């Protein structure tokens, strides 16, 4: 029964472990290795319309908004189209300028989030084109959009979203690939990304296999009243999502920051009582990231670094969580999965209700 947590203590645990299979499903039948592209028939756009897009604007709430930020990076990196994400709850109140050559993307697990739905209606009222990245088939947002990509994550019951978010990321990767291949993205790069996408389900499995070590680490993090999650550029939405998950179910104060901004204020809060979880993939910014983390180390702030094997942390006194390497553009999702396990095990240690955290609903259908 898909609605039964089975041998798991919670739906969140079941849903985290379902991620490799869910990831396979969202990719299935949508990758074209021959032409190095993706096929997304549900977008309802022909090649001419796809080429005419000059900007991409992504709207979602909470974690869907943070994955939207990851999606905006994918679109900019692969398709070289200016893209950004905005909280759907804010969008309609600033009388947004709706442009005919902008592709609006609404992203939602439930497809029922009122703020995202009202943003879609506002865009359509003003003549904009909106597509949906939605998990629940036939939901209100899916019905209101001009087209879209179903996420095929399967039913998600836990308030803390996991497998749907992973599939949102993959949905954005498919979209970015398709937009990229009618522009400047080469066939070789398209194939490189397809190969990377095909490796992801197995690599997510590898991260999930680290659960015991992550549980032990989470037990220690759960003792802190307050934590930072930091990252830069591709790593910043990862940090935001990591902090979000941690606060939702552990009820600890978890604040996300750009690593580069620490010195402009929050460094004042670093102490041996305030741990920092830092996202440090091997990429163009590794050295700068490590440099900034030395500022934390010097103030005896405990550090957990989510990184790749062999990254030189320059003697930092840090605990390492190592995730597999993939194509750099796809790093964010592999960096996100261990943060789900940290939040889950911290909440478990603290004895909280994992699936139904206080004050929160699975989908927010009233303003
Ligand atoms: C995720 O863990 C949260 N429960 C929450 O931020 C959620 O992502 C948000 O409310 C959006 O929900 P949706 O994807 O169903 O629109």
**Mind listing the pLDDT tens digit for each residue in 53-80?**
999 999 999 999 999 999 999 999 999 9
Between 123-127, 282-286, 326-330, 357-361, the lowest mean confidence (pLDDT) is in: 357-361
For ligand 1, mutation pick of 161, 166, 337, 339 (most atoms within 8 Å of CB):
161
Please tell me the distance between residue 304's alpha carbon and the centre of ligand 1 in angstroms: 26
Which atom of ligand 1 is nearest to 168's Cα?
Answer: 14
Per DSSP, the chain holds a count of helices (H) and strands (E) of: 13, 12
Crossing angle of helices 235-250 and 331-349, rounded to 10°: 20
- Least Cα distance to 311 among 321, 299, 297 occurs for 321
State the ipTM, two decimals.
Answer: 0.98
Sheet holding 102-108, edge to edge: 83-87, 55-60, 102-108, 129-134, 147-150
Q: Helices marked H in the chain — which ranges?
A: 11-17, 19-27, 47-51, 63-74, 88-91, 114-125, 140-144, 163-181, 187-208, 211-221, 235-250, 286-298, 331-349
Residue nearest to atom 11 of ligand 1 (CA): 61
Please tell me the distance between residue 35's alpha carbon and the centre of ligand 1 in angstroms: 35
For ligand 1, mutation pick of 10, 59, 60, 63 (most atoms within 8 Å of CB):
63
pTM to 2 decimals? 0.97
Q: What percent of the chain has pLDDT over 90?
A: 95
pLDDT digits (tens, 9 = 90+) for 75-121: 999 999 999 999 999 999 999 999 999 999 999 999 999 999 999 99
* pLDDT, greater one: 311 or 6: 311
Cα separation, 105 vs 64, in Å, equals 11
Please tell me the distance between residue 109's alpha carbon and the centre of ligand 1 in angstroms: 7
pLDDT band at 367 (very low <50, low <70, confident <90, very high): confident
């Amino acid at each position: 029964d898909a609605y039964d947590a089975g041998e798991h203590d919670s739906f969140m645990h079941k849903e985290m472990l379902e991620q490799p299979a869910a990831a396979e499903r969202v990719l299935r039948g949508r990758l074209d290795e021959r032409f190095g592209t993706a096929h997304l028939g549900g977008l309802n756009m022909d090649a001419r319309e796809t080429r005419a897009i000059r900007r991409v604007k992504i709207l979602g709430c909470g974690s869907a908004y943070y994955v939207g930020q990851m999606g905006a990076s994918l679109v900019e990196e692969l398709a070289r189209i200016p893209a950004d994400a905005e909280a759907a709850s804010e969008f309609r109140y600033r009388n947004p300028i709706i442009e005919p050559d902008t592709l609006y993307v609404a992203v939602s697990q439930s497809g029922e989030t009122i703020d995202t739905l009202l943003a879609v209606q506002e865009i359509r009222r003003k003549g904009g084109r909106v597509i949906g990245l939605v998990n629940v088939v036939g939901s209100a947002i899916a019905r209101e959009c001009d087209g879209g990509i179903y996420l095929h994550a399967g039913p998600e019951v836990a308030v803390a979203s996991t497998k749907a978010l992973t599939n949102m990321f993959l949905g954005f990767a498919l979209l970015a690939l398709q937009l990229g291949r009618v522009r400047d993205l080469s066939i070789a790069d398209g194939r490189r990304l397809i190969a990377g996408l095909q490796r992801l389900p197995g690599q997510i499995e590898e991260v999930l296999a680290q659960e015991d070590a992550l549980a032990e680490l989470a037990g220690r993090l759960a003792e802190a009243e307050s934590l930072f999650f930091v990252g830069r550029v591709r790593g910043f939405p990862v940090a935001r999502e990591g902090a979000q998950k941690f606060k939702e179910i552990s009820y600890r104060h978890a604040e996300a920051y750009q690593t580069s901004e620490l010195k402009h204020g929050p460094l004042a809060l670093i102490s041996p009582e305030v741990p920092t979880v830092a996202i440090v993939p091997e990429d163009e910014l590794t050295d700068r990231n490590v440099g900034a983390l030395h500022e934390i180390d010097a103030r005896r702030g405990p550090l957990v670094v989510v990184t790749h094997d062999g990254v030189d942390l320059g003697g930092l006194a840090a605990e390492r969580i190592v995730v597999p390497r993939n194509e750099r553009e796809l790093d964010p999702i592999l960096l996100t999965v261990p943060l789900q396990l940290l939040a889950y095990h911290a909440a478990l240690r603290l004895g909280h209700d994992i699936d139904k955290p206080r004050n929160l609903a699975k989908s927010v259908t009233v303003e």
